[in-house]
Amino acid sequence: MRQIVIVFILPFIISLTTVYFIASDREVNNFLFKKEPAANAVKPAFNFIENFRSNPACEEGFLKSGDSSEIIFLLGSSELTSSSEAIPYNFIPDHFTTQLKAIGHAGNQCFSMYAQLLANDQRLKNAPVIIILSPGWFESKASRGVSSDIFLEFVSERFLNRIIKSKNNAEYNAYLYKRIAELFSELNSPSLELKLINFKHYASKSFIHKTIYAPVLFCDDILVHLKEKLIPELMADNAIVKRLPIAPDHLSLNWDSLYAASKEEVIRKSTNNSLGIADDYYTLYIHGKTGRTEAVSEKFNVELEDFKMLIKLLKEKQANAKFIISPLNPLYYKNLKALSPTINIIESEIKKNGFSYLNLLETDSAKYEKPILHDIMHMSDYGWYKIDHFIIDTYHLTQ
């Protein structure tokens, strides 16, 4: 026993005391850990970013109001990387006082969005948030939920720290802890925050687990606290935001003209196939092939469970949220109707929670509008104009 104390316990206590002293002493801290400005810092005036990548300026601007009018935030995945002038983060700011900012790229699914919003829960009340849901998330491998790599692109240590410190989100935190514990084995060199979250999940399983994990939780909690002292930015402001009214503009848009011109453009670019797919995309990726969806039952659909928690969070925090279900091409996906039961559940959850939504998915190939996509799953300008119209109408951007 004496040997254990001398060899293990005493050095640990000395190390912990030394680290605490360094972290607590500002002069020592500043001497040893000089702060360098972020090399790739992006100004918070962004219209679109693919991810946060721990960028403090963008993270601080997330879900905040503008100077004179509200800002609408749009969360999505691969469809947002289009450079179209019709895409909402270009179209809305170009025409209206109210600004719109978008965040997302391929792989940004319900759980990463859930974590981003949970980390900013104090800003959610009346916040205009639009979620683009891709039916492809809820089928095949994607139904297992967001990957750990993508998750960490959107949910920084700063965001995780906020979640850990929150006092009024026990149910939502517990779900996040469980899902991170499921991803934990995929993580390479997980941060102290991720380790603490993982331990918290397992400690919650029973009194015995809580007792076993108590020393580890105690030590990790101290280390996270010390890390905050070394990096104060981890505890950035998450105060309640004073939301501004959306400022309507006296603007009349000729939607019929926009629709007609954008549909004609898609048709003009699709001449070597009958699927409504742009020629270059068809030649490069399709060339006569067809695809099939792999429906996953509600019981085993992790993404669907993530979605239910996402919408529950938005409802409880009283967000001014809207949803868009993006289309897939039923002329390419020959069994697209297999996804109908899942889409019905999604629509039911949205309606039950009192949110507005736009469903652009058409599973019947006879009713499908070819010009809505330029490939098998990404919106053309015609598709984006439909979304613009929905945003403008539901948020009352015009008088």
Q: pLDDT (tens digit, 0 to 9) for every residue of the chain, 399 residues total?
A: 455 445 445 555 555 555 455 444 455 444 444 444 444 444 445 899 999 986 888 888 899 988 888 999 999 999 999 889 999 999 999 999 999 999 999 999 999 999 999 999 999 999 999 999 999 999 999 999 999 999 999 999 999 999 998 888 999 999 999 999 999 999 988 998 999 999 999 999 999 988 888 888 888 888 877 777 777 666 656 677 788 888 889 999 999 999 999 999 999 999 999 999 999 999 999 999 999 999 999 999 999 999 999 999 999 999 999 999 999 999 999 999 999 999 999 999 999 999 999 999 999 999 999 999 999 999 999 999 999 999 999 999 998
Any domain includes 22: yes
pLDDT of residue 165: 87
Any domain includes 10: yes
- The amino acid at residue 196 is L
pLDDT of residue 356: 97
pLDDT of residue 235: 63
H or E segment to which residue 91 belongs: helix 88-95
Which DSSP symbol is given to 36?
Answer: -
Look up tokens 């105060």; give the residue.
239
**Distance separating alpha carbons of residues 311 and 308, to the nearest angstrom:** 5
- The amino acid at residue 76 is G
User: Which residues are registered as beta bridge partners of 117?
Assistant: none
Cβ atoms < 10 Å from Cβ of 253: 15
- Measured CA distances, 143 to 74, 75, 153, 309 (Å): 22, 18, 19, 15
pLDDT of residue 242: 83
Are the C-beta atoms of residues 375 and 114 closer than 8 Å to each other?
A: no
Are the C-beta atoms of residues 110 and 103 closer than 8 Å to each other?
A: no
- Pull the structure tokens for residue 201: 């999940």
pLDDT of residue 31: 46
**Distance separating alpha carbons of residues 143 and 139, to the nearest angstrom:** 5
Any domain includes 50: no
Any domain includes 296: no
- Pull the structure tokens for residue 60: 């601080």
Any domain includes 43: no
**Distance separating alpha carbons of residues 199 and 164, to the nearest angstrom:** 12
**Distance separating alpha carbons of residues 157 and 196, to the nearest angstrom:** 11
Range of the domain at 25: 1-34
Any domain includes 191: no
Split into its structural domains, the chain has a count of 1
pLDDT of residue 109: 98
Any domain includes 256: no
**Distance separating alpha carbons of residues 270 and 2, to the nearest angstrom:** 80
**Distance separating alpha carbons of residues 193 and 161, to the nearest angstrom:** 7
Are the C-beta atoms of residues 155 and 116 closer than 8 Å to each other?
A: yes
